[in-house]
A = this chain, B = another copy of it.
């Protein structure tokens, strides 16, 4: 951390900063310039302390963080890429893993039909929501426990691992029994109570990026999962909130190489929630693979016109099958496969 004093700060003010630094067991190095004094704080864990503790002291003008606030998710702690193994399917390796299925589980018929068609087209993991975070209390909230039962049934029938969202801290162990991967949704990325519980679970977890959280905050949230002992963390970029109104969220494609640069965790992309419209999903999905994403999370519905939730962003069976063909070619062009 770098503490820059105001022009004209007194010796007492500077001494108080130094004393504060020492109280954390850290060292200082002083830069006494002609205009102002700059105090460099030297220590290996300064990233975990708020800059405020120095900024609040008299005579301090700015405090700048050099170290990142996240730790366990960083490449500095673990240089090589992490692989997450889900029933033999490796996420983060050469294979690009496609997770596909309906936004919400709506009925046995719908889920089985969806599972059959996404598997047929080449998806390796089935997605489907049993609990749905809905902005209005008057909207359909998901099939809940009955939905979990259907997911288990689909998993057994098709031999595909299943990913589903958990919203309530009280449901973590129940959902972990039914699902192979727990999903923490965008609106819960900073629900630290839920993160702590999922961190203690032994299930791999997809951590969706909060739609207004920085990559740094996202990796710091991943630290909650990793600190609990859960090493199966898969990051999922799903679009951020911006001023642009032609899409539901703006997919932050640069987040893929940024994550690869700073973290060892695998990162997948959800083009469906970003786009908000099925016609934009293929282009975003293709871009994600070209940019280096380790997988995709795509909404597919046997009959989007009858979907109870998010039908507009769901691909039709034919479109999904076509997209998978295109994705295979792009995967090969970047030295990977689906």
Which residues of chain A have a CB within 8 Å of any CB of chain B?
Answer: 2, 4, 7, 27, 29, 31, 33-36, 38, 40, 42, 44, 48, 50, 52-53, 55-57, 62, 64, 66, 69-71, 76, 133-139, 167-170, 187-188, 190-193, 195-196, 211-212, 214-217, 220-221, 223-224, 227, 240-247, 250-258, 260-262, 274-275, 277-280, 282-284, 286-292, 304-305, 307, 309-313, 326, 329-330, 332-334
How far does the Cβ of A194 sit from chain B's closest Cβ, in whole Å? 8
Cα A291 to Cα B62 in complex, Å, equals 24
Q: A168-B193, A215-B244 are in contact. List 18 more A-B contacts (CB 8 A).
A: A2-B38, A27-B33, A31-B40, A52-B312, A135-B217, A137-B195, A138-B227, A167-B191, A169-B169, A240-B243, A241-B243, A244-B255, A251-B254, A254-B280, A257-B283, A283-B290, A287-B288, A289-B290
**Which residues of chain B have C-beta atoms less than 8 A from A282's C-beta?**
257
**Which residues of chain B have C-beta atoms less than 8 A from A2's C-beta?**
2, 38, 40, 64, 66
Cα A291 to Cα B269 in complex, Å, equals 14
Copies of this chain: 4
A314 to B, closest residue via Cβ? B56
- State whether A53 touches B133 (Cβ < 8 A): no
A283 to B, closest residue via Cβ? B257
How far does the Cβ of A183 sit from chain B's closest Cβ, in whole Å? 15
**Which residues of chain B have C-beta atoms less than 8 A from A242's C-beta?**
240, 242-243, 250, 252
- State whether B244 touches A214 (Cβ < 8 A): yes
A284: which of B64, B167, B224, B253 is its contact (CB, 8 Å)? B253
